[in-house]
Amino acid sequence: MQSGDEAAFWNLYNVKLHEITLRELLLFKSLYVCKTLSEIVDIVNDQPNPAVFYKSCLELDGANMVSILSFDSRSMSYLL
């Protein structure tokens, strides 16, 4: 071992943080105020990029919307 090697670090994992935009927060809120399941499916299907549902949010206790929407197979078929 050479001097200076004792301070070498290896990457064990990487963390990627996403900033949640106001639009995304309003989207999540609109899912909670929907009265029917078909309204939720329509909102999910209207999104141009389904990646917004995969972002983990501290506002959702570290969960993401995919796990919250997993009760509906129609929404999940669009997201997957």
> pLDDT per residue over 53-78, tens digit each?
887 676 667 677 777 788 778 888 87
Residue 1 clears pLDDT 70, i.e. is over it? no
pLDDT of residue 33: 92
75 within a domain of the structure (yes/no): yes
Q: Is the dihedral of CA 57, 58, 63, 69 positive or negative?
A: negative
pTM of the shown model: 0.64
Distance between CA atoms of residues 52 and 68, nearest Å: 13
Cα dist from 72 to 5, 37, 52, 68, whole Å: 53, 8, 17, 9
Domain count, the chain: 1
**3-state secondary structure (DSSP) of residue 18:** coil
Q: What is the pLDDT of residue 8?
A: 67
Question: pLDDT class for 20, splitting at 50, 70, 90?
Answer: confident
| Any domain includes 15 | no
Residue 14 in domain: no
In the prediction, which pLDDT does 64 show?
Answer: 75
In a domain, 27, yes or no: yes
User: Which residue range is the domain that position 31 belongs to?
Assistant: 21-79
